[in-house]
């Protein structure tokens, strides 16, 4: 299976378990590996057969910013569910990073894989 990639999709949102975090926006960085058959798009050079990076990015930004979430684990699951149901990807690897969440680390994050690659 082919893959379509998005790297470091930057989303500003309200996320965190602490009260002070619920009052501010923080940055999440999202990496996506999406299982997608690129054969038809490549053979026809036709956009309608491609997985649109912009549509995916815009939808995920809207999804993640629609309401506050406490855990990046929840964000990862929301993303995977959206991509598999709305965009019909066969499988997805989602990495969600939260820079600055731990003072002694550049970033912390989670990785999940759902579906088939």
17-69 tens-digit pLDDT: 999 999 999 999 999 999 999 999 999 999 999 999 999 999 999 999 999 99
83-116 tens-digit pLDDT: 999 999 999 999 999 999 999 999 999 999 999 9
- Cα separation, 116 vs 18, in Å, equals 35
> How far does the chain reach from its first CA to its final CA, in angstroms?
6
| Catalytic member of 3, 67, 88, 98 | 98
Longest alpha-carbon distance in the chain: 52
Helix axes 72-86, 53-65, angle to 10 degrees: 140
- What local confidence, expressed as pLDDT, does residue 55 receive? 98
DSSP state of 5: E
- Cα separation, 39 vs 2, in Å, equals 8
Pick the CATH number of 3-115 from 3.40.50.300, 3.30.1490.20, 3.30.1130.10, 3.30.1300.10: 3.30.1130.10
Q: Report residue 117's pLDDT band, with 50, 70 and 90 as the boundaries.
A: confident
98 is catalytic: yes
């Amino acid at each position: 299976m082919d893959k379509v990639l998005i790297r470091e999709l930057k989303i500003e949102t309200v996320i965190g378990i602490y009260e002070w975090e619920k009052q501010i926006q923080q940055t999440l960085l999202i990496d996506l590996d999406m299982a997608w058959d690129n054969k038809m798009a490549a053979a026809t050079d036709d956009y309608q057969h491609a997985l649109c990076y912009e549509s995916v990015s815009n939808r995920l930004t809207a999804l993640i910013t629609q309401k506050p979430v406490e855990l990046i684990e929840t964000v990862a699951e929301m993303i995977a569910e959206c991509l598999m149901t709305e965009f019909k990807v066969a499988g997805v690897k989602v990495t969600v990073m939260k820079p600055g969440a731990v003072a002694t680390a550049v970033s912390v994050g989670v990785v999940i894989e759902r579906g088939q690659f």
